[in-house]
Homo-oligomer: A and B are copies of this chain.
Amino acid sequence: MTNRIAVAQAHPQIGDVPVNVATIRRLSIDAHAAGARMVVFPELATTGYAFESRDELADALSFGDGVAEIADLSAEIGIIIVTGYAQIRDGIALNKAGLFENGELRGDYVKTHLWDTEKELFTAGTSLPPVVDTTVGRVALAICYDLEFPELMRHYAVSGADIVAAPTNWPAGFEAPTHYGPFNGEMLRAMAGASTNRMYIAIACRTGIERGVDWVDNSCVIDPDGYPITALFDGEGLAMAEVDTAISRNKNISERNNVLGDRRGDLYVTDER
């Protein structure tokens, strides 16, 4: 089953949920018009990223977190929307990814690996949600730094994911030396996660400078061979890719090798000693 999906490189405005939801609406309409059946938006696409305090984030969310509007958009436009968003629950701030299909929040995930100052602002998730069976295949949710944990990628592969949809904000400053091509280290690690598990990984990154923080952009869809089949290196826009679940469900890489079957789970000891 082949379907077109999109990653949307958006430029969220810090603290302005209505403007950011309008951007999600506009780019979702464009993605749908271009034939995409799913579109992925960046991490914290509804609120922006560089908040100085939990109170400031709470203020931004005081007139709504955008979730109901995005759910409605998924039904109105007829496209699966995956987006990063923020919520505050019982005084705790959460960095989340939601999958919206036909007006419903069908997958909801709280980021489990927090990056740097996020640890001051957000509380990490305590569970991994099930993979969501959608019209484009089985979709798992991850957010940015999560992609750098091979254990999580394996968890999702073993859970049957065809696509890891990953709202992301890759900060500038970790780019590869230029002779490695225009790929930041995080992208190289995601490429390995895709190929060692034979999954697609759809990464939507933000663009634009926010409070002095710059980003590498580099939204992309990586295929099960581990190479980006589409990428958007700079500025706002959409990148499209065809995903074929017949490819992601075939874990064989030679006549006698299978990326999951060849594991030697009896041998690895990976807890702290």
Contacts and interface: CB of A to CB of B under 8 A. Distances in A.
A193 B195 CA distance: 13
A195 B186 CA distance: 10
A16 interface: no
Given A176-B227, A265-B271, A192 B188 contact: yes
A264 interface: yes
Contact of A116 (B112, B126, B225, B256): B256
A226 B176 CA distance: 9
Given A191-B188, A192-B191, A195-B189, A177 B227 contact: yes
A113 interface: yes
Interface string A86-113: 0000000000000000000000000011
A267 B180 contact: no
A257 B115 contact: yes
A260 interface: yes
A147 to B, nearest CB: 10
Nearest to A180: B181
Interface stretch (A4-12, A70-78, A148-156, A234-242): A148-156
Given A191-B188, A264-B113, A148 B270 contact: no
A270 B195 contact: no
A185 interface: yes
B185 A195 contact: yes
B225 A185 contact: yes
Given A117-B256, A256-B119, A128 B267 contact: yes
A179 interface: yes
Contact of A113 (B119, B195, B262, B269): B262
Contacts of A145: 257, 262
A268 interface: yes
B148 A180 contact: no
Given A158-B272, A176-B227, A263 B151 contact: yes
A164 to B, nearest CB: 14
A219 interface: no
B155 A269 contact: yes
Given A117-B256, A152-B264, 8 more contacts: A113-B262, A128-B267, A151-B263, A185-B226, A188-B188, A188-B192, A189-B196, A192-B193
13 contacts: A115-B254, A115-B257, A124-B264, A145-B262, A150-B151, A152-B264, A155-B268, A176-B227, A180-B183, A185-B195, A188-B188, A188-B192, A192-B192
